Amino acid sequence: MNMPRTLYQKHIDSHTVCPLDNQGHVLLYIDRQVANEYTSPQAFSGMREAGRKVWRPNATLAVVDHVNPTAPVRIATMPDAGGAQQVSYFEENCRDFGIELFDVLDKRQGIEHVVAPEQGFILPGMVVAAGDSHTTTYGALGAFGFGIGTSEIEHLLASQTLVYKRLKTMRVTVNGLLSSGVTSKDIIMALIENIGASGATGYAIEFAGPAISELSVEARMTICNMAVEAGARGAFMAPDDKVFAYLQTKPRAPQGEMWKQAVAKWKELHTDEGAVFDREVILNVDDLEPMVTWGTSPDQASPVGGYVPDPATQPDLILRQGMQRALDYMGLQAGMPLSDVVISHAFIGSCTNARIEDLRDVARVVRGKRVAAHVRAMIVPGSTLVRTQAEQEGLAQIFLDAGFEWRQSGCSMCLAMNDDVLAPGDRCASSTNRNFEGRQGAGARTHLMSPAMVAAAAITGHLTDVRSFALEA
């Protein structure tokens, strides 16, 4: 009789070419990979120097997303020489190695972790790797995604395999139901705050429970995307009817009889009853409030109705010193209400929160209102297709009427790798995934929260509980 297995074990077992040792290392087959202009150049250079070909060119999708400008009018020219060289070399590599490329003028262009799912390039049961840590996003579709380094990208392109070490397993069961104004972003921020920024290091997380089942597929992507901020090397959820409905309309999904056969197999992608996880975590969200970060790590977060914590109350010396450093960098005083924190910028975008459902949430908050006079507010959709849909639904005009900049798609101010950069001392309410020192610009200060919370802060000019707004359905 077969031992019951977790969904993670099923993914890895089905893709193991052969074991490599008794320490858990295997040669792992990879179904798909997504490449960008920022993390791939050295890998392609290594391929050229070794005279190698890409083993399966059609298993790779290439997207320009990190260094491109997001100005409201799209142009193909990169504003800086370094970015221009990266994009030019990327185009050359894709052409020479036969890889499909969505360049900046392609109507399907966007952030890789938004583009790949909306194209149906990622399907349940797949193992996916890419040169970006937020490849974990694909777990929301019942795939297993993880980030890799440049040398691994080269090995993957050349062989469609990777040397991989099995992870420990963690199940996070999310019980309860979210109240109005509380989102999946708040679930994952609460989890990271609870277990710490390294609490899932060495683990693959499976998210389960009634609160997860109630979420849309796009909301689930937010959770899997940010699981890496707790140290997880992978995160996923068992695919269900919501996932199948999401994928059925996608251009690269199977069609006809192949679709029926695929869904029948996908329904087997779940953890077996009786399977044992290395760690179990229970999270109840019935009383969860909207979350915001106050420090320089995603786990330095609190409910928006709370206060900046006092490092003196932290008994652990290392954690206490980290808290004090964070407060010094953020320019905050222990004990001050988080709602007193005044912002200068509001940014809605990134692979975490720039999909159409996120933008609909924002529109419900800002309709008929105006951005505070001292705030610069930007919305950068996750893809050109999302941008087009938002314009067709009338969302873009709501944003413009409220005083937001409505920009083109790209990674933008998530990581300050283009011309969307904060100045020292700027303070930004942001829907992104990381609030590290200098993440959005040298000396800049970042507060993470949901898109709806960013919208509320943009309107009031300070951190604000979005539940104080009367939201339209």
φ, ψ for residue 425, nearest 5 deg: 90, -15
Q: Is 473 part of any domain?
A: no
φ, ψ for residue 417, nearest 5 deg: -105, 10
- Amino acid occupying residue 44: F
Q: Which SS3 state, helix, strand or coil, does residue 205 take?
A: strand
- Amino acid occupying residue 298: P
Last residue of a domain, one of 252, 277, 301: 252
pLDDT value at position 473?
Answer: 45
3-state helix, strand, coil in the chain (%, to 5): 40, 20, 45
Q: Is 26 part of any domain?
A: yes
CATH code assigned at 75: 3.30.499.10
Last residue of a domain, one of 237, 252, 267: 252
Angle between helices 217-226 and 356-366 (to 10 degrees): 100
Angle between helices 41-50 and 150-159 (to 10 degrees): 50
Which residues, listed in sequence order, are joined to residue 25 by a DSSP beta bridge? 165
Report the C-alpha gap between 317 and 336 in whole angstroms: 22
291-316 pLDDT, tens per residue?
A: 999 999 999 999 999 999 999 999 99
Q: Is 196 part of any domain?
A: no
**Parent domain of 463:** 310-468
Q: Is 104 part of any domain?
A: yes
Q: Is 172 part of any domain?
A: no
Question: Helices in 333-467 by DSSP H: which ranges?
Answer: 356-366, 384-392, 395-402, 451-460
Q: Is 233 part of any domain?
A: no
Measured in residues, the chain has a length of: 473
**Per-residue tokens: 44:** 């392609």
- Amino acid occupying residue 185: K
pLDDT value at position 79?
Answer: 80
404-444 pLDDT, tens per residue?
A: 999 999 998 998 877 899 999 999 999 999 999 999 999 99
Q: Is 267 part of any domain?
A: no
Split into its structural domains, the chain has a count of 2
Q: Is 238 part of any domain?
A: no
- Half-sphere exposure at residue 425, Cβ-oriented, CA atoms within 13 angstroms: 0
**Per-residue tokens: 105:** 């003028």
Burial of 331 (0-12, 13-18, 19+ CB in 10 A): exposed
319-335 pLDDT, tens per residue?
A: 999 999 999 999 999 99
pLDDT value at position 82?
Answer: 86
pLDDT value at position 471?
Answer: 61
**Per-residue tokens: 342:** 């005044």
Q: Which helix (H) or strand (E) segment is 155 a member of?
A: helix 150-159
Q: Residue 80 — very low, low, confident or very high, per pLDDT cuts 50/70/90?
A: confident
Last residue of a domain, one of 227, 252, 277: 252
